Amino acid sequence: QQQVKQSPQSLIVQKGGISIINCAYENTAFDYFPWYQQFPGKGPALLIAIRPDVSEKKEGRFTISFNKSAKQFSLHIMDSQPGDSATYFCAASMTSGTYKYIFGTGTRLKVLA
Amino acid sequence: SAVISQKPSRDICQRGTSLTIQCQVDSQVTMMFWYRQQPGQSLTLIATANQGSEATYESGFVIDKFPISRPNLTFSTLTVSNMSPEDSSIYLCSVGTTDTQYFGPGTRLTVL
């Protein structure tokens, strides 16, 4: 019940295309869903996050879509660029509890020039 | 956001030895966490570093193997004890607000 399932494991997108990464969770007590971007040799960096009281959040080219009834959320990267090539992790946490994150398995994105 | 530094950034160690990793934050934070990230894998929480009390370890991780100190609100250490090649990983500290966590750059450990 604590798992966060992430797909796909890897993704190749043409420059200018849309990259879509999906995550699903089971524990309905989760109330905070961040996405992290990690470049090789670096720590994960917070990209965007959402709470279940909204269905969508957009920041620049990055959008989170959230479906509370399906217990799913996804990251959309519009106009994907080669500089977006990185590993992306979704996570879930309970902010009223221990604040621990449960991470997805990661998606390695490659954007072709 | 917080600025987090870790020392060392990388190290190569011999089997059976121990390594202490330091994590320094530029502001006082309540929550600090230690993660392990094996090559090409996701992040696994080792423990929550509690200031003024013992760390809280996740299932599969024990204090004898991964002792943690948290002497104040800006600093923590993680020791990887009696290392084996299976301990080769990236070790990351993170600091948390009530919802968001910010990660340090990580320590890449190779055990021969």
The span from the CA of B46 to the CA of B48, in Å, is 7
Q: What pLDDT is attached to residue B87?
A: 97
Banded pLDDT at B23 (limits 50, 70, 90): very high
Nearest CB partner across the interface for B92, out of A41, A43, A99? A43
Burial class (CB in 10 A: 0-12, 13-18, 19+), B21: buried
Mutate to test the interface with B, among A51, A96, A103 (most CBs of B within 10 A): A103
Q: Do A44 and B31 touch (CB under 8 A)?
A: no
Could you tell me the pLDDT band of residue B61, with boundaries at 50, 70 and 90? very high
- Lowest pLDDT segment from A37-46, B36-45, B67-76, B98-107: B98-107
Look at residue B98 in the predicted model and tell me its pLDDT: 67
Query: Considering only CB atoms, which residues of chain B are within 8 Å of chain A?
Result: 1, 4, 31, 33, 41-45, 48, 56, 92, 94, 96, 98-106, 108
**Given CA atoms B47, B50, B56, B61 in this order, what sign does their dihedral have?**
positive
Does residue A60 register a pLDDT over 90?
yes
Structure tokens belonging to residue A2:
């604590």
**pLDDT over 90 (residue B44):** yes
Q: Which of B99, B102, B110 to mutate to test the interface with A (most CBs of A within 10 A)?
A: B99
Q: Which residue has the higher pLDDT, B97 or B110?
A: B110
Which pLDDT score is estimated for B111? 97
A97 pLDDT tier (thresholds 50, 70, 90): low
Average pLDDT, rounded, for chain B = 93
d(CA B38, CA B98): 27
Please report, rounded to a whole number, the percentage of residues in chain A having pLDDT higher than 70.
97
Tokens of A26: 């089971």
Chain B positions touching A21 (Cβ under 8 A) are none
Cβ–Cβ < 8 Å for B42, A89: yes
Q: What does the pLDDT average to over A57-63? A: 96
Angle at A51 between CA A42 and CA A84, to 5 degrees: 30
Would the pLDDT of B25 be above 80? yes
